[in-house]
Chain A
Amino acid sequence: ARAQPKKKKKVDVKREQAQKERMKKKIRKLEKAASEMIPIEDFMTPPKYLESKRVRSLPPLSSEEIERRVLLMKKWSLYKQKQDEAEKKAIQTLVASQQAALKELRLESEELYQAAIKRDEGLFPFERDGPNYTPPLPDYDPPEGKCTDITKVYTQ
């Protein structure tokens, strides 16, 4: 009557310890394996686009059309070049005026200069939605509905 409860305690403790060690070993094994990245569906072409090799047959272009296109391409590239140069110039002027302002500030007061150079903690996170082609309609009544997330969940 006295020996039995003692046995139970020992056996239970041993069993529990053995279980814990087994779990720890499993955890260590799983942790050893490197975690994998989720595969990105954008980069996997769907098989239906790999199968058939049907080629589009375009009509032949007249020489005037070809010339028109070439001249248009040249005008477009020139326009884009001017745009790009204007952007680079804008960056340079921004940086230059910033440096000039900081120089003046330094001459004015050292404290303010040091405070101005410090990084802005409130800058990040910065969020901005892209512009839209058309503004939202003022009196639009959308139908009721819902949006469900059907992304494929990958597990390791």
Chain B
Amino acid sequence: DARVSCHRHYRSRPTHGIGRFKYLLPKEAPKKRKDRVQMKAVNVGTEHEYGDINIQMTSYDMCLVEHFAKHVHRLCNRLSIRVNESYAMPTKTNEVLFLEERGSKMQLDAVLTTHQRVVQICGLSSTFAPILLEIIQSNQPEGVDLLVKEHTEADFKMRLKSRPELEELLAQMS
């Protein structure tokens, strides 16, 4: 602060407190925990509006998946659909082994990495939903699997690290 940097305050002068500005800024909320419970939105409502919906794109090819996720995100922006979050799920690695023709040893064929990106949208109207699905499907690149489903807490918990100690203690308690 300018007030603190100079060592005399001149409190009787009209220029006292010159340079103060932090009191004008909006108050920042305290840093929230990462374990935020997601918003269970307008799931009720016979008309319009689904709640939080996850568009999950999976593929072995990371560039394709990222480009497709970017395309879907920009499409939703263009169609003024509210995008809550656009994140990546942890990468899964698979080792493919095959049995040689002559021999009983398993040989390593390849190491495949499966990448998944999620675009979370909210407030999709019931009349527009099939249209959006059509457009996303028509732009789907090769080898990218699409999964559109409602967001649940289980989906959120998949992104968090497992806590074996806590689980052990809880199991011991009950």
Which residues on A are within 8 Å of B, measured CB to CB? Answer: 20, 23-24, 26-27, 30-31, 34-43, 87, 91, 94-95, 98, 102, 114, 117-120, 123-133, 143-156
Contacts and interface: CB of A to CB of B under 8 A. Distances in A.
Given A128-B146, A130-B59, A145-B96, A119 B126 contact: yes
Interface in B36-75: 45-50, 53, 59, 62
Contacts of A147: 94-97
A154 B162 CA distance: 7
Contact of A150 (B49, B93, B148): B93
Contacts of A154: 161-162
Given A117-B47, A127-B145, A34 B35 contact: yes
A132 B142 contact: yes
Contacts, number: 163
Interface residues on B, range: 35 or more
A94 B33 CA distance: 43
A40 B35 contact: no
B156 to A, nearest CB: 10
Nearest to A125: B149
